[in-house]
Amino acid sequence: MDKKLNNKGIALLMVIWILALLSVIVGEFCFTMKTQVQIVRNVKETAQAHYIAAAGVNAAIEQLIQQVLAPPSARAADERDEADEAEAEEVPEVQWRVNTQIPAVSFGTGEYRVWIDNEGGKVNINLADKTILRAMLDGFSIEDSEKDIIVDSILDWRDKNDLHLINGAEDDYYLSLPEPYECKDGYFDSVEELLLVRGVTPEIYYDGLEKMVTVVPREKASFDKKDSSKKEKKKQPDYNKLDMNAIPPRLWAALPGMTQEALDLILEFRKTQNFRSPRALAEIVGPEVYAGIAKYLTLRQTPYFTIRSIGTTTDSSIAEGIEAVVCISGRLEKKYQVLQWKEGVPPIEHQMTRPGDLNKLTANG
């Protein structure tokens, strides 16, 4: 009798152990399945967010084509002399304005948020001259000697010869570095290339410089130029002037004579409308401030735009970003051309700096 009870006890113990083992296996299986389901869901939501962001880029391109190629005021401006245009050109009111917050747009199972910049509001490091390059660097708290080094080194990097300017750098400097490389002696292909230039530190670059510069176009002779007549040459953009409706706040703050009050007023004005004439800006900032910044400003927009689109899906924290540099031109077969396409960009920051940040901008340079 005792032997039978003992056998039953052993059998019961084995069953308990088997059930416990099965429970562990089932629990592990459930956990694995849950993890795999979550992975699949994340992949699905990431793909959805990506294509929603791509839809935002395409929607922005469509809007820009409509706005740039046939605005009524642009046709009127073409009939004016350039001097009259600078004073009287009207900028059309548009739904998707550059350098301003654009409301989120629902699309499919989520929404996209788009930010559009016109590259004419940035300093073209391929074509700008020494004066505006130096003005740009005045927004950073660095010594004048360091500014001279950066400006001359940018000019040396992009010129075709191997003769360095007084404060610049050519092969002799770059080849003497711990990790040597040659001076490019050619136009910049990307903004990131500035990090290779003498004097441009990561601190300066990531603390604002990258948002103040552009590399498009690379040459003054635009590919969509109709002819070589004097009239057409006259219409070529002046790359030493900035589109006042597309200047980033950090660059506004760097312009000579800019004050905190003037910056606040400019940013507040730009939230709801575009500048239609230089006179409108002068009335806002006052004659003294305007006198210092006037020579750097224009209302002429370039055909080059940077579009940043962030796509999200409903009830998901996943966001996917795409940044594209596009050219909008009637000379192009499709009316546009994508020059750069970058995926995995971070969420859009609030580009329009809040009033009261001028001191912070210049101090953090």
Total Cβ atoms within 10 A of residue 160:
7
Amino acid at 250: R
What structural domains does the chain harbor?
A: 1-140+212-365 (no CATH), 144-206 (1.10.40.60)
pLDDT at 227: 44
| Cis peptide preceding 217, ω within 30 of 0 | yes
Q: Residue 38 pLDDT > 90, yes or no?
A: no
Helices 260-270 and 278-285, interaxial angle, to 10°?
130
CA distance 324 to 313: 21
pTM for the complete prediction? 0.78
* Residues 322-363 pLDDT 10s: 999 999 999 999 999 999 999 998 876 544 343 344 444 443
**Sequence-distant (≥ 6) Cβ neighbours of residue 87 within 8 angstroms:** 277, 278, 279
Strand, coil or helix: 341: strand
**Sequence-distant (≥ 6) Cβ neighbours of residue 13 within 8 angstroms:** none
Query: Does 71 or 129 have the greater pLDDT score?
Result: 129
Structure tokens at 307: 């579009």
pLDDT at 202: 96
Q: Residue 261 pLDDT > 80, yes or no?
A: yes
pLDDT at 15: 78
pLDDT at 170: 97
* Residues 286-326 pLDDT 10s: 999 999 999 999 999 899 999 999 999 998 889 999 999 99
pLDDT at 6: 67
* Residues 172-230 pLDDT 10s: 999 999 999 999 999 999 999 999 999 999 999 999 999 999 999 988 755 444 444 44
- Of 214, 212, 219, the closest CA to residue 186 belongs to 219
pLDDT at 28: 79
pLDDT at 352: 39
CA distance 143 to 140: 9
